[in-house]
Structure 1
Amino acid sequence: MTRIIRTIAIALAAASTFTLAACGGAPSESPPLEGATIGGDFTLTGKDGKPVRWSDFDGKYRIVYFGYTFCPDVCPTDLQNIAQAVKLLGEKNPELAAKVVPIFITIDPQRDTPETVGKFAASFGPTVVGLTGTPEQIADVAKKWSTYYKRGEGSSETEYLMDHLRASYLMGPKGEPIALLPSEQNGKAVAAELLKWVH
């Protein structure tokens, strides 16, 4: 079976919603995603089955990642890198790490129950938050984050893969978009980017 993992940079660049920082140059003074129309209010479901709102994270830097718990490789790798980055940040700057909350939002609500996403998120660390919702709620949140997902190949109603964008969004204390994190690389690369923007 094949999986189509497209990059968020291609999709958002095509939509002209933000400008990427120049490659190879000095870091931009302004956040790469400053002014982008990404993000927005939502109400989803947490591990205990209770509502979780975007506003519940006000005052925190939020790393938003869309994926699914049955993902065989990409999602676990990216989340591991994100969790490692927060840990690395905390080793030298615990006050900064305390301001960061990784948020995993499933794009497979059919299989990812509150308990499932809760256990999945917790396997990467105690600060990782796992969220699910109805198909309509997930579709609404994905639209606000300009992300893409679609059910892919499978052998049955419960055995299938999901095609989705591979992106980790860093959002600010007021919910504003800041940057895309290099979670496809490693924890050190993500930590370096966090250190650049988290204050």
Structure 2
Amino acid sequence: MKINRTLLLAGGALLLLLAFFQIQTGLDKASTTSGLASKPAGAPFTLQSRDGEVSLSDFEGQLALVYFGYTWCPDICPASMMFMARALQNLPEELRANIQPIFISVDPQRDTPERLAAYVDFFEAGILGLTGDESTLQELARAYGAFYRYTEVDSAMGYTVDHTSDFYLVTHEGRLLATLPHTISGNQLTATLSQALQNNL
């Protein structure tokens, strides 16, 4: 299925100005009752890509920058991916090669590996699109302190997915180094990635 590049560009450009300064009302309250670990520590994982199974351990010698979302997301996900791409582009080349950006879809019913690959390729940042079965995704989200839930809507989409919009910096062993809010500035994200790479590689 083709991704509408025009809509993504328009929505992403607008939301880069707005989305990172908005408070997602309701999500913080919901996450306190969703069974999240009190101190998320991260976890290793093996998920599905267009080219087959991918494990976090495949990226030995690198750090991963992980984001949980879904391709049908109308606003925050495309903005977050553009934000991630720009922050990575600002890293020195020798550091950029040691970061693997990963987009994990929490909507496996609609986000096939093929659709995911088309979606992340649009951002031209080497982002890897992964997903898995529902039970695996729920367990992984809890381990990282992420939250998501399906919400029925009266439209052709059928449902949307409410989700946290943080970035998770993790080692190839699955150890969570930092949870970075979507309100972080581009300069702050770049600086955080640089420091983490210097301290953990």
Query: Normalising by the residue count of structure 2, what TM-score does the alignment of the two structures yield?
Result: 0.75
Give 1:59 shift. Answer: 1.7
Secondary structure of 2:27 counterpart: coil
Q: Which runs of 4+ in 1 moved over 6 A?
A: none
Task: Specify the alignment match of 2:128 in structure 1.
Answer: 129
**How many pairs were matched up?**
172
Secondary structure of 2:108 counterpart: coil
Give 1:183 shift. Answer: 3.8
**Would you say 1:155 and 2:158 are equivalent positions?**
no
Secondary structure of 2:177 counterpart: strand
Give 1:187 shift. Answer: 2.9
Partners of 2:156 and 2:63 in 1: CA distance: 37
Partners of 1:173 and 1:42 in 2: CA distance: 10
Alpha-carbon contact 1:5-1:163 (below 8 Å) kept: no
Partners of 1:186 and 1:5 in 2: CA distance: 23
- Deviation track 1:125-172 (CA, whole Å, cap 9, x = no partner) reads 241000011222222221222221110132268432101112101113
In structure 1, runs of 5+ residues without a counterpart are 18-36
Distance 1:116 1:145, change over 3 A: same
**Would you say 1:6 and 2:8 are equivalent positions?**
no
Alignment of 1:68-79 (within 5 A): 68-79=70-81
Distance 1:175 1:58, change over 3 A: farther
Task: Specify the alignment match of 1:46 in structure 2.
Answer: 49
Task: Specify the alignment match of 1:120 in structure 2.
Answer: 119
Report which stretch shifted further, 112-121 or 139-148.
139-148
Partners of 1:120 and 1:5 in 2: CA distance: 27
Query: Between Structure 1 and Structure 2, which shows a larger proportion of helix residues?
Result: 2
Partners of 1:52 and 1:172 in 2: CA distance: 15
- Deviation track 1:41-83 (CA, whole Å, cap 9, x = no partner) reads 22210023x1111211222111010000000111111111111
Secondary structure of 1:198 counterpart: helix
Alpha-carbon contact 2:37-2:143 (below 8 Å) kept: no
Q: Which amino acid in the other structure matches residue 45 of structure 2?
A: F
Q: Which amino acid in the other structure matches residue 124 of structure 1?
A: F
Q: Which amino acid in the other structure matches residue 51 of structure 1?
A: E
Superposed CA RMSD in Å reads 2.5
Alignment of 1:19-168 (within 5 A): 37-48=40-51, 50-89=52-91, 93-155=92-154, 158-168=157-167
Alpha-carbon contact 1:39-1:176 (below 8 Å) kept: yes
In structure 2, runs of 5+ residues without a counterpart are 1-23
- Aligned-pair identity (%): 36
Partners of 1:5 and 1:45 in 2: CA distance: 30
Task: Specify the alignment match of 1:21 in structure 2.
Answer: none
Partners of 1:56 and 1:126 in 2: CA distance: 19
Alpha-carbon contact 1:60-1:172 (below 8 Å) kept: yes
Query: Normalising by the residue count of structure 1, what TM-score does the alignment of the two structures yield?
Result: 0.76
Report which stretch shifted further, 161-170 or 120-129.
120-129
